[in-house]
Amino acid sequence: MAGWLFCCCTSRGIDLRRVTQLSWNPRAFLYHGFLSDAECDHLVKLAKDKLEKSMVADNDSGESVMSEVRTSSGMFLSKNQRRIASWTFLPEENGEAIQILHYEHGQKGHRVATVLMYLSDVQKGGGGGDLFPNAEGKLAQEKEDTWSECASDGYAAEEGDALLFFSLHPNATTDNFSLHGSCPVIEGEKWSATKWIHVRSFDTRSNELCSSWAATGECERNPSYRAGSDGASGFCRKSCGVC
């Protein structure tokens, strides 16, 4: 599955010599310098200009509500995943829009993702590292005595790095080792960008009439069919503004 990750060559703009295997259980890989400093700064600037509070779906009503669990502020950017698709070998249309996440002192996050891009450095010993609590072994990285207990069990990446990990085994069963979390930021702040990728196409408008249906309010009148729900993928997700 991951043999192509280690070929010492450049493929479709991706330098695979920069990829380091962090773990096989879960399958986790780090790309050093995936984004340039200028790209990181640009994404952070976009987020600061247009930052919105993170929203999550209420399991009972299906509506978006403010969550007390998600402590980060976030914003969704227009999709630009060609580079991610080249690295992961997963189709562009299977990915959600990139979300910019901002963690300040005392904030932490807990989610299963696909590609996590680091847009800033967190001061050494300042927390903000990422970890896999169920992993068979600790991620390979030299630790320092000043690091928190949480950070010592995880990985502290640098600005521009990208972390790729899989939540499914190659046979499509769930990888319980892939449970992912972030250590609280103790000092400074942390900016990151996350890309979730699905098994099937996520950005879809299966019917050419979706735009006109959305304009006439069909997304609200028939949400399960048009926009999708827990039990249905939806046939007009893009037109209904879901992705």
Q: How far apart are CA 179 and CA 111, in angstroms?
A: 7
Confidence class for position 180, pLDDT limits 50, 70, 90:
confident
pLDDT value at 7 more than 50: no
Q: What is the pLDDT of residue 53?
A: 45
Q: How far apart are CA 214 and CA 221, in angstroms?
A: 10
Q: What is the pLDDT of residue 230?
A: 54
Of the spans 75-79, 87-91, 160-164, which averages the highest pLDDT?
Answer: 160-164
Confidence class for position 30, pLDDT limits 50, 70, 90:
very high
pLDDT value at 18 more than 90: yes
Q: How far apart are CA 229 and CA 62, in angstroms?
A: 8
> Between 161 and 59, whose confidence is greater?
161
Express each pLDDT in 187-238 by its tens digit: 778 888 888 887 766 655 455 667 777 888 888 887 766 666 654 556 677 7
* Residue in the structure block whose two tokens are 């050494």: 124
Quick check: 160 and 40 in contact, CB under 8 A? yes
Q: What is the pLDDT of residue 228?
A: 62
DSSP state of 165: E
- In CATH terms, the superfamily for domain 3-203 is q2cbj1_9rhob like domain (2.60.120.620)
Write out the DSSP string of 94-155: GBPPPEEEEE-BT---B---SEEEE-SPPPTTSB--EE-TT-SS--S----TTS-HHHHTSB
Mean pLDDT, all residues of the chain? 70
Q: What is the pLDDT of residue 162?
A: 93
Of the spans 2-16, 69-83, 142-156, which averages the highest pLDDT?
Answer: 142-156
Q: What is the pLDDT of residue 111?
A: 42
Q: Which helix (H) or strand (E) holds 225?
A: helix 223-226
Q: What is the pLDDT of residue 160?
A: 92
Residue 222 CB-density burial (10 A; 0-12 exposed, 13-18 middle, 19+ buried) = middle
What is the residue extent of each domain of the chain?
3-203, 204-243
Side-chain-facing half-sphere of 197: CA atoms under 13 Å: 21
